[in-house]
Amino acid sequence: MVKQPIITVKNLVKNYGDFAAVKGISFEVYDGEIFGLLGPNGAGKTTTLEIIETLREKTSGEVTVDGLSIENDADKIKQRIGVQLQAAGYYPNLNLSELIKLFCGLYGIDKTPAEMLEKVALTDKAKSKYKDLSGGQKQRFSIATTLINNPKIIFLDEPTTGLDPQARRNLWDLIREIRDSGTTVVITTHYMDEAEELCDRVAFVDGGHIVGIDTPNHFIDQLVATGFERKKQVKLANLEDVFINLTGKEWREG
């Protein structure tokens, strides 16, 4: 299958005053993949995402999203993408059902809260307020809000930070379902195990540069081919596996 780029970034530069946060990066995201931007704090991941989302001005370079230029077609791009809001964006006195109705109204889209909440396994929380949800439920709800306008691409900035192992795995399943239903997913994460498990391709960002871009398996195979060996013998399971095994992996959050 030929891979079609849905996002193209060429020589993107972002300076904040004298400080260069993004130093001429180029990459493509393919239609239908889960693409991960990985790297340490301050690498420039969020800045890059926000420029692609048309929420932040670039200094120079070219970015197209679904064939549209961020300079000329920002409004059209906004209609075709889904972006997670910061938690502060959710009115505290509305329940989930009311919040979804509000978003549908803003987008002018005719969807029922029930169908959106079902997609993210929050049907039984329809009458709960956002602030009363667990960390994993909050993330699932915020992903539901990104899907309201039937986006071609959704952007998830560190969606699993601070979640417990079960909630993380549930979120991975949800993100895979979204990809399998045809939506491209661009995600940032600090968790390398997550990127390895979830992402079809990853780009490592460091100090405003892309230092590598490939599939996780290819990256690992190439490293192993150089004769690299881990210092410690690799165990067949880890403590997280023990935790999941002891506590189960069903949808269950306190």
**Residue ranges in contact with ligand ATP by CB under 6 A:** 16, 19, 21, 39, 41-47
Q: Give the residue from 145, 136, 123 showing the smallest Cα distance to 169.
A: 136
39-70 CB burial, b ≥16 within 10 A, e <16: beeebbbbbbbbbbbbeeebeebebbbbebeb
* Residue with Cβ nearer ligand ATP (23 or 111): 23
- Cβ 45 to ligand ATP shortest distance, Å: 3
- Rounded to whole angstroms, the Cα distance separating 154 from 146 reads 7
- Cβ 27 to ligand ATP shortest distance, Å: 15
- Cβ 228 to ligand ATP shortest distance, Å: 26
- Cβ 70 to ligand ATP shortest distance, Å: 16
Give the DSSP letter of residue 129. Answer: B
- Rounded to whole angstroms, the Cα distance separating 74 from 53 reads 8
Question: Which conformational region is residue 54 in: left (phi greater than 0), alpha (psi within -120 to 50 degrees), or beta?
Answer: left
- Cβ 19 to ligand ATP shortest distance, Å: 6
Contact 154/143 with Cβ under 8 angstroms? yes
* Residue with Cβ nearer ligand ATP (97 or 160): 160
* Residue with Cβ nearer ligand ATP (25 or 43): 43
* Residue with Cβ nearer ligand ATP (47 or 184): 47
* Residue with Cβ nearer ligand ATP (76 or 190): 190
